[in-house]
Every structure is written in C-alpha cells, then in structure tokens.
Amino acid sequence: MSAAIELVGVSKQYVKLEERAMLLRSLLPFARPKRTPLDALRDIDLKVDEGETIGVIGRNGAGKTTFLRLLAGVSRPTAGAVRVRGRVAPLLSVGVGFHPEMSGRENVYINGMLLGLSEADVAARFDEIVAFAELESFIDTPVKFYSSGMFMRLGFSVAIHVDPNVLLVDEVLAVGDLAFQLKCFERMRELKERGTTIVIVSHSMHAIRLLCPRAVLLSHGRLELDGDVEEVIARHHELLSEATDTGELNGEPFAGGVELVERELLGPEGPTTQVPRGVPCRLRCRFRFTRPVESPLVHFTVLGQDGTVAYQMRSALNHQHRRYGKGDEATAEIAFTPQLAGGTFRFLVSVTSVDGRQLLYRDTNGLLVYVPPPLGSAGIADLDATIRLDGEVLTDYPDLTL
Amino acid sequence: MADAYPAEPDVLELRAAPASRGELLRDVARHREVLMALARKDFQTRYKRATLGVIWAVAVPVLQAAVMAVVFSKIVRFPASGGYAPFVMVGIVAWTFFAGTLTVGAIAIVENASLTEKVWFPRALLPMVPALSNLVGFAISLAVVVLLLPLFDVGWGVRLALLVPATALLLAFTIALCLVLAALHVYFRDVKYLVAAALLVWMYVTPVIYPKDLPALARFTWLIDLNPLTGIVDFFRLGTTGVAPGAGRSIAITIAWTVGLGIAALEAHRRYDRLFADQL
C-alpha cells in the first residue's frame, strides 16, 4: 500500500504583525511594523496509508488547523514537503467554502467543481447529494438563510459524494442530530472500505476513539505522539493536566493562604493518568501554608465535562485539632474507587477554613482524567448494566472502530 | 460511482518553494470550467434581485454617455472629429467596464476569502471573475453604441472588426491589473481605497470625454499616450468612429503595459498563491 499522505520535516511559520501592515509604512524601513514569527508546526514527519483513518488531537493552538490547511493545499509549508495523493475533500462548514448569496444548488455545483468534478459529474450526483443532506425543500434558498445544521449537512454531503481519496473532517461531527451523525459514520465507513483515507480533527475524544484506531497528538506545533488511539488520548490528558498545574490554562489557581506544591494521581502500580472502573486510586496533594491556619478542611470534588457534580467528599470537623504555621507543609491523600462512566472528568481538591467559609485553596481547573466509556453507555455513573431480550444479551457491543 | 476515482490520482506536492510558471498556468487552465461557473454565478447573483436585470448594466453607461454628450457638445463644445456623441459614448462604455471591473477585481481575493479557506484553487481565478462577468454588459453596451452610429452620420464598415482585438486588449489589460492589485490587496488593505481614489483621477487624465488632440493638450501628447487607457479608448474609436489620431503609438504602449503587468501578475501569483490564505 502506498502512502496517501506524507509529511517530511514539515514546518509552518506565520508572521504575526503587531499592527496591520500599511503600504506606506512598509516602504519606509524605519517605520516597519513589528513582525513576530509564530511557529504553527515544527518539523512534522508523518505517513498515512491509503484507507487509514487517523485522528488528530491537541489543545487549541497546537497546530491542528494549520495541519489540515496544508493537507488541503490551501497553504504551503515554510520548510519540508507535503505529499497528498488524489482528490482531497474537506468538509465545508458555516462560512467557509459556501457563497452566502448563492443558493444551495449553486453552491453544490461550485463546490463540486472546486473539489474536482466536472459540471456533468455534479449534475449526475446532484439528487443524491441533496437527498443525503435532507435539504430537498431548501435547495434553492440562498445559503445565508441556512442554519448551521443545514450548512453542515450540505457540506458533508458534497464532500462524501465527490469520491475523495482523502477526506478531511474538522470538528463538524458535533453538529446535527443523532440520526444524521449515524448516517455520517455509516458513510465514512463505506468510503473507508473503498480506500478513502480519513483525517479527523476533533476535541471530542469520544468521536476520535470511535472512528480512529490511530491518532496523533500535536502540542505546540510538534508531533508529540503518533500511535494507538488510547495511548494518544491518555497522553493528551496528561499534557492537559500539566498545563493546568502550571496555571497555563485559565490563569493562576485561586490561593488564599495555601499553595499546591505537588499533585499526583496514583494507581495500583504507581503514577497514572487513567482511572478505569473499579480500580482503587489515590490522589495525593502536598500543600504549603503561606500563613498560620487552624484545622483546615479538605474537599474532594469530581466534575463531569459539563460541570455536573459527579461526586463530592469533605473531611470531617470533629478530629484532633491541628495547627499549621507559615511555611509548614501537609500531605492530603484521597483514596477512592472510581465507578465513573465514560467522558472527561475534573478531579478537584480544595482547602477551606474549619468553618468552611474561607476558601484557602481552590484548584480552578483540576486534574483532567479521561475515562473510556463502555460502548452504548452514557452518563456519569457506571452501573455496569447488561440488557437481555428473551434471554439473549444485547449489550456485548462489537468494536465500532473503523 | 467508484469509476469516478481518477485511475492514476494526481499527487499534490507542496514545498516551501514557489510554484513554477508552468505549474500556475496549468492549474489555471485546469480550473477554467470553475472560472466560467464562477463568472456565470457572479453575473446572475449581481442582477438576479433587480427587476430590470442586466438592462441596468447597459442603461447606466449609455445614460452617462448621453449626459456627457449633451453637456460637452452643447455646452462646453469639444471639437471632436467624427461627431462628439459617438466619440464620448464609446469612450464611456470602455471606461465603465474598466472602472467597474477594477473596483471589484482588485479586492476579489480578500472578498472571496471564504471560498478558498478550505478548498484550494488558484486564487488568480478570483480577480478574473468580475472581468468575465462584466463582459456581458459591456458587449451589449458596445452593440448598442454600434447600432446608434448611423444616427450620428457614422457608417458601419469593416473597421468594426477592430472591436474584437480592442475588446481583447481591454480584457487582458484589466485582468492583468486586477491580478496584480488583488495580490497586493491581500497584504495592504489600503489598495481598496487607493483604487477608488485613483479611478477618480484616472478618468480625467484619460481622453474619455475630451479628445486628446485638443490644441491646449498638444504639449502633453506623449504623457497622455503613456496612460495605458489612452491606447484602449483609441483602439475602440478606431473600430467605431474610425477617427483616433496617433492610435498606433498609444495602442503599442498599452500592449507593453499589458505584457509588463501580465508578467508581474504571473510572478506574484506563483510566489504568493498558497501564502495568501495565511493573511486572510
């Protein structure tokens, strides 16, 4: 099998101007606006075979969009070489690729032709494209009146009907109702069987895990990890937690008398980033007091991705009186057995005064942990259910990975 | 449907180096069907909402020319050999095409950024679109002028055939200028306003409404001929009224301008085409 996508030593540097370039100022050498180089991708080597499906993950600004732009040929690398075999079809979404004044019909033609079909080819597939997008009654409406769901459906439909060799999917699977999403997954599987290479960029670990056996993790423009999807997702969450620790995410964590010195999540075999169901874990935090504190309380909270409280526990009051002076350190160890369902959870530890009124330490972002969901399940708790119909177990899900 | 897969798929290879001239020209040629479709849609969307449709594209320049004809032949009294009315009408029609196209074409790459955000095609197509879609209105306006010629005692003749190369030169010059300006506009947004300002002045330094052989202008003939639009209006007058003193020199200068701008456009687009997206 030959490589459908090949990147050799690819770097992309943008030049960020401090202010908008002005013709006159650029001509005067002493008044040139400041230019800051910005490395969006650094020295990326990657090979994707024909028919492979690969997920691309990473934090905002990690270089995912630039990566897709290079594959689509919209931009060219600053160094290295990008090779893509055959017809590349990006999924078009709101505002990109569609001309707002033109009707859905006209946009289908233009985009079909831009993606490499002849006018006759588009005409031959037109009905199928519209039927798949479920837009029969709106196809002659200018797309500026479309909802984001309608845009997404039309964009997806055009992209998959041009028989792409490489399909680029950028986060759009999040839109659309469940029935349409299933239809999309089905179509992508069909394309894959016919040899289409699929690249999916998403922040939804669920979608990535479901569709891609292989994933790559981008971090600050570098290819951090390329490998098995579970391994890559775990590393992604590790990096997210590190970013949280260093206050890199949303500013410094709140601190009013207590500082976090060190924090680690321990599994039965030492430090871990995963909390599989039923395996005892310990969250160990070392605090330092920046002022004298009497008998502090330790709170442990687990939040779901949407902020739902999945679990909360607080240390009791009626224990031996403790007194910490300035500069003293204390270690809090929280032992627990997770029974969480799939998703991303935030493990938060906070410290309050003995009456619970003064917040001495609050972790704004917490430790992010991804729990692979049992297939077919949803929610925050894992009850390990099985469903039988006339005695036959119907919940032993087959592997859905593409 | 599987048969639609290209037997031997093209390989897109991107490097830091600019595309070669041949590559750019091949890419543009390969996308000519897209170019025509974009021009058609541009034409349709422009006039679809207006009840009178494409009639506006013709009525406006013809009306403008009529006003000019009345003002300058009855009030100011420019002496134009072959009659002032046909002289000014043909000039206005050519100028209207040029100015109308340049205003849109010079900003086409930025304005259509959304089209090229995800799917690549040579950005050079975008500045060509307005020129092609305006060509329809221009052709009709020109036909109207030609039909009106006998009204002003100007007969039809073989010289009408000159209108074809004249139109070709107008189209080539306008497209070349649009390509260069649209590329500049990506980096310098002042271009939009510069074009608007330049067009205001440009119309009056071009012999559109006055004949360039006015005695008062005798000392500036060379300067006037250096203006690439002089050659164009001269060429069109040669094809309609048949009177255009010194047209040979001015047309030659316009051709030189067109070739020069064409080379500049080719260089700019092959170097920057895939970098435009980074600025949009």
Q: Which residues contact A145 (CB under 8 A, 6 or more apart)?
A: none
Mean pLDDT value across residues A46-58:
91
The 10s digit of each residue's pLDDT in A371-393 is: 776 666 767 778 878 888 888 88
More confident residue, A336 or A252: A336
What confidence tier does B103 reach under pLDDT thresholds 50, 70, 90? Answer: very high
The 10s digit of each residue's pLDDT in A151-169 is: 888 888 888 888 889 998 8
| Residue A276 host element (H or E) | none
**Predicted local confidence at residue B125, as pLDDT:** 94
Mean pLDDT value across residues B188-212:
90
Burial of B76 (0-12, 13-18, 19+ CB in 10 A): exposed
The pair of three-digit structure tokens given for residue A270, joined into one six-digit string = 């030492």
Which of B13, B23, B111, B118 would you mutate first to test chain A, the one with the most A CBs within 10 A?
Answer: B118
Residues A265/A280, Cβ–Cβ less than 8 Å: no
- Winning range, highest mean pLDDT, from A178-182, A226-230, B43-47: A226-230
Q: In what order do the strands lie in the sheet with A197-201?
A: A88-90, A166-170, A197-201, A53-57, A214-219, A222-228
Distance of CA B181 to the CA centre of its chain: 13
- Which has the closest alpha carbon to B109: B265, B228, B262, B229? B265
- Which has the closest alpha carbon to B178: B159, B209, B160, B199? B199
Chain B positions touching A87 (Cβ under 8 A) are: 5-6, 9-10
Nearest residue on chain B to A105, judged by CA atoms? B41
The answer to whether residue A165 neighbours chain B at the CB level (below 8 Å) is yes
- Which has the closest alpha carbon to A340: A299, A386, A308? A308
- Which has the closest alpha carbon to B6: A278, A51, A85, A377? A85
The 10s digit of each residue's pLDDT in B122-174 is: 999 999 999 999 998 899 889 988 998 888 888 888 899 999 999 999 999 99
Q: Count each helix (H run) and each strand (E run) in chain B, helices first.
A: 12, 1
CA distance A152 to A208: 19
Chain A positions touching B115 (Cβ under 8 A) are: 97, 99, 110, 114
Chain A positions touching B114 (Cβ under 8 A) are: 95-99
Percent of chain B with pLDDT over 70: 92
Burial of A68 (0-12, 13-18, 19+ CB in 10 A): buried
The pair of three-digit structure tokens given for residue A258, joined into one six-digit string = 């207590």
- Which has the closest alpha carbon to A15: A39, A31, A44? A39
CA distance A155 to A352: 51
Residues A297/A314, Cβ–Cβ less than 8 Å: yes
Cross-chain CB nearest to A96 (options B117, B121, B274)? B117
Cross-chain CB nearest to B45 (options A75, A81, A101)? A101
The answer to whether residue A78 neighbours chain B at the CB level (below 8 Å) is yes
What confidence tier does A338 reach under pLDDT thresholds 50, 70, 90? Answer: confident
Residue B5 has pLDDT above 60, yes or no: no
Amino acid identity for residue A40 in this structure? A
For chain A, give the mean pLDDT.
81
Long-range CB contacts for residues A356-359, cutoff 8 Å, separation at least 24: A356/A297, A356/A314, A358/A256, A358/A257, A359/A254, A359/A256
Residues A373/A206, Cβ–Cβ less than 8 Å: yes
Amino acid identity for residue A10 in this structure? V
CA distance A55 to A248: 25
The answer to whether residue B1 neighbours chain A at the CB level (below 8 Å) is yes
Residue B44 has pLDDT above 60, yes or no: yes
**Predicted local confidence at residue A117, as pLDDT:** 86
**Predicted local confidence at residue B226, as pLDDT:** 93
The CATH code of domain A3-237 reads 3.40.50.300
Chain A positions touching B274 (Cβ under 8 A) are: 73-76
Residues A151/A104, Cβ–Cβ less than 8 Å: no
DSSP secondary structure letter of residue B152: G
The CATH code of domain A250-371 reads 2.70.50.60
| Residue B168 host element (H or E) | helix B163-187
More confident residue, B62 or A232: A232
Quick check: B37 and A113 CB within 8 A? yes
What confidence tier does A197 reach under pLDDT thresholds 50, 70, 90? Answer: very high
CA distance A196 to A52: 7
CA distance A195 to A391: 39
Percent of chain B with pLDDT over 90: 45
Chain B positions touching A109 (Cβ under 8 A) are: 37
Instruction: Map out the domains of chain A as residue ranges.
Output: 3-237, 250-371
The answer to whether residue B8 neighbours chain A at the CB level (below 8 Å) is no
Distance of CA A185 to the CA centre of its chain: 18
CA distance A250 to A238: 17
Residue whose token pair is 């009177």: B243
Cross-chain CB nearest to B12 (options A20, A73, A78)? A73
